[in-house]
Protein backbone atom coordinates (compact mmCIF):
# COMPACT_ATOMS: atom_id res chain seq x y z
CA UNK A 1 0.00 0.00 0.00
CA UNK A 2 1.62 3.27 -1.11
CA UNK A 3 1.36 6.41 0.98
CA UNK A 4 -1.18 8.99 -0.09
CA UNK A 5 0.43 11.89 -1.95
CA UNK A 6 0.58 15.24 -0.17
CA UNK A 7 2.61 18.36 -0.94
CA UNK A 8 5.70 18.47 1.25
CA UNK A 9 5.08 22.04 2.32
CA UNK A 10 2.60 24.89 2.08
CA UNK A 11 2.66 28.35 3.55
CA UNK A 12 0.43 31.34 4.07
CA UNK A 13 0.24 34.61 5.92
CA UNK A 14 -1.99 35.14 8.95
CA UNK A 15 -5.60 35.57 7.87
CA UNK A 16 -5.10 33.85 4.53
CA UNK A 17 -6.41 30.44 3.49
CA UNK A 18 -4.40 27.41 2.45
CA UNK A 19 -5.47 24.11 0.95
CA UNK A 20 -3.62 20.83 1.33
CA UNK A 21 -4.35 18.08 -1.16
CA UNK A 22 -4.22 14.34 -0.56
CA UNK A 23 -4.24 12.08 -3.58
CA UNK A 24 -4.86 8.37 -3.36
CA UNK A 25 -6.33 5.73 -5.62
CA UNK A 26 -9.65 4.13 -6.37
CA UNK A 27 -8.73 1.51 -3.73
CA UNK A 28 -8.61 3.95 -0.85
CA UNK A 29 -9.64 7.62 -1.07
CA UNK A 30 -11.85 7.00 -4.08
CA UNK A 31 -13.65 4.02 -2.58
CA UNK A 32 -14.47 5.12 0.94
CA UNK A 33 -15.81 8.25 2.59
CA UNK A 34 -13.38 7.65 5.44
CA UNK A 35 -10.67 10.25 4.94
CA UNK A 36 -9.47 11.95 8.10
CA UNK A 37 -6.97 14.72 8.66
CA UNK A 38 -4.55 15.07 11.57
CA UNK A 39 -2.59 17.99 12.92
CA UNK A 40 0.73 17.09 14.50
CA UNK A 41 3.07 19.33 16.41
CA UNK A 42 6.64 18.09 17.06
CA UNK A 43 6.81 15.76 20.01
CA UNK A 44 3.04 15.64 20.37
CA UNK A 45 0.44 13.07 19.46
CA UNK A 46 -1.63 13.68 16.32
CA UNK A 47 -4.99 15.41 16.71
CA UNK A 48 -7.90 14.75 14.39
CA UNK A 49 -9.19 17.84 12.62
CA UNK A 50 -11.54 16.36 10.01
CA UNK A 51 -13.13 12.92 9.68
CA UNK A 52 -15.32 11.23 7.07
CA UNK A 53 -13.99 13.70 4.57
CA UNK A 54 -15.70 16.82 5.82
CA UNK A 55 -16.90 16.42 9.40
CA UNK A 56 -15.34 18.31 12.29
CA UNK A 57 -15.03 16.74 15.73
CA UNK A 58 -16.35 18.72 18.63
CA UNK A 59 -13.91 21.40 19.66
CA UNK A 60 -12.18 21.81 16.29
CA UNK A 61 -12.37 25.32 14.86
CA UNK A 62 -14.71 25.86 11.92
CA UNK A 63 -11.72 27.40 10.14
CA UNK A 64 -10.86 23.82 9.21
CA UNK A 65 -12.86 22.22 6.43
CA UNK A 66 -12.51 19.15 4.26
CA UNK A 67 -13.73 17.93 0.92
CA UNK A 68 -13.22 15.10 -1.53
CA UNK A 69 -13.46 14.69 -5.27
CA UNK A 70 -12.68 11.35 -6.84
CA UNK A 71 -9.36 10.08 -5.55
CA UNK A 72 -8.31 13.40 -4.03
CA UNK A 73 -9.24 14.82 -0.64
CA UNK A 74 -8.48 18.34 0.49
CA UNK A 75 -8.08 20.18 3.78
CA UNK A 76 -8.65 23.92 3.79
CA UNK A 77 -7.60 26.14 6.66
CA UNK A 78 -9.06 29.62 6.54
CA UNK A 79 -8.10 32.65 8.60
CA UNK A 80 -4.62 31.24 9.23
CA UNK A 81 -3.29 31.71 12.75
CA UNK A 82 0.19 31.21 14.12
CA UNK A 83 -0.90 28.17 16.12
CA UNK A 84 -1.95 26.41 12.90
CA UNK A 85 1.72 25.94 12.05
CA UNK A 86 2.23 22.18 12.21
CA UNK A 87 2.46 19.04 10.11
CA UNK A 88 -0.78 17.79 8.60
CA UNK A 89 -1.49 14.21 7.60
CA UNK A 90 -4.37 12.72 5.68
CA UNK A 91 -5.46 9.16 6.26
CA UNK A 92 -7.81 6.91 4.34
CA UNK A 93 -9.39 3.57 5.06
CA UNK A 94 -8.10 1.16 2.43
CA UNK A 95 -10.28 -1.88 2.98
CA UNK A 96 -9.84 -5.01 5.12
CA UNK A 97 -9.21 -2.82 8.17
CA UNK A 98 -6.07 -1.38 6.55
CA UNK A 99 -5.29 2.30 6.66
CA UNK A 100 -2.95 4.45 4.64
CA UNK A 101 -1.54 7.82 5.65
CA UNK A 102 -0.21 10.60 3.52
CA UNK A 103 3.43 11.61 3.64
CA UNK A 104 2.58 14.75 5.56
CA UNK A 105 2.55 18.47 4.76
CA UNK A 106 4.46 21.06 6.74
CA UNK A 107 2.38 24.21 7.11
CA UNK A 108 4.33 27.40 7.71
CA UNK A 109 2.52 30.54 8.82
CA UNK A 110 4.61 33.40 7.49
- For other proteins, the binding residues (CB under 8 A) are 1, 3, 34, 36, 38, 40, 45-48, 51-52, 57, 89, 91, 96-104
Closest contact distance (angstroms) between CB of 55 and other proteins is 9
| Of 2 and 17, CB closest to other proteins | 2
Closest contact distance (angstroms) between CB of 40 and other proteins is 8
β-pairing, 105-109 vs 9-12, is parallel
Closest contact distance (angstroms) between CB of 13 and other proteins is 26
| Of 5 and 78, CB closest to other proteins | 5
Angle (nearest 5°) at CA 4 between 14 and 48: 50
Of how many residues is the chain composed? 110
If phi over 0 gives left and psi between -120 and 50 gives alpha, with beta otherwise, what is residue 96? left
Q: What letter does residue 67 receive in the DSSP assignment?
A: E
Amino acid sequence: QSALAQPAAVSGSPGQSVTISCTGTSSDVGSYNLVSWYQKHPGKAPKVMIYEGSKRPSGVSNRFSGSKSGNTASLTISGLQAEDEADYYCCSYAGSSNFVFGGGTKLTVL
